[in-house]
Amino acid sequence: MTVLECEPPVGLQRYEGWPGADGVVHISIFTSHEPSSLTAEIATREVAAGLRHLSKAMAADPRLGVLLDRYGVVREYVYVYDYGTGAVAVADASEDGTVTLR
């Protein structure tokens, strides 16, 4: 996984090399809020910031866009809480920033 070091961090990972891997890039936006304290407002704000960071990264280095075009990207984003030894998806987000808490 490659992580854009921003707040919130944005992860890009191409699923390849195991049964069921689809070969496309999956995008995760990470929260530092524990799931019990997460609200829809916080999630919406952080997802919007993560999507802005991704857009800025693509504008700063067009090769990122080329890679996403070449391999494809899942256009549904996952909002993730990383608790140190693993992570749990806490919401789904669409490309337009709409967030649905799980």
Q: What is the mean pLDDT of residues 21-50?
A: 94
Check whether 25 has a pLDDT greater than 80.
yes
Structural contact between residues 27 and 78, judged by C-beta atoms closer than 8 angstroms: yes
Give pLDDT tens digits for 13-24: 999 999 989 999
Q: What is the mean pLDDT of residues 49-54?
A: 95
Find out whether the peptide bond into 8 is cis, omega within 30 degrees of 0. yes
More confident residue, 29 or 1: 29
Structure tokens at 25: 């890039």
Say whether 33 sits in a helix, a strand or coil.
coil
Structural contact between residues 92 and 45, judged by C-beta atoms closer than 8 angstroms: no
More confident residue, 40 or 74: 40
Q: Where are the domains of the chain?
A: 2-101
Cα angle value 14/23/86 (rounded, 5°): 40
Give pLDDT tens digits for 53-82: 999 999 999 999 999 999 999 877 888 999
Mark out the alpha helices in the chain (DSSP H runs): 40-60, 62-71
Residue 35 — very low, low, confident or very high, per pLDDT cuts 50/70/90?
A: very high
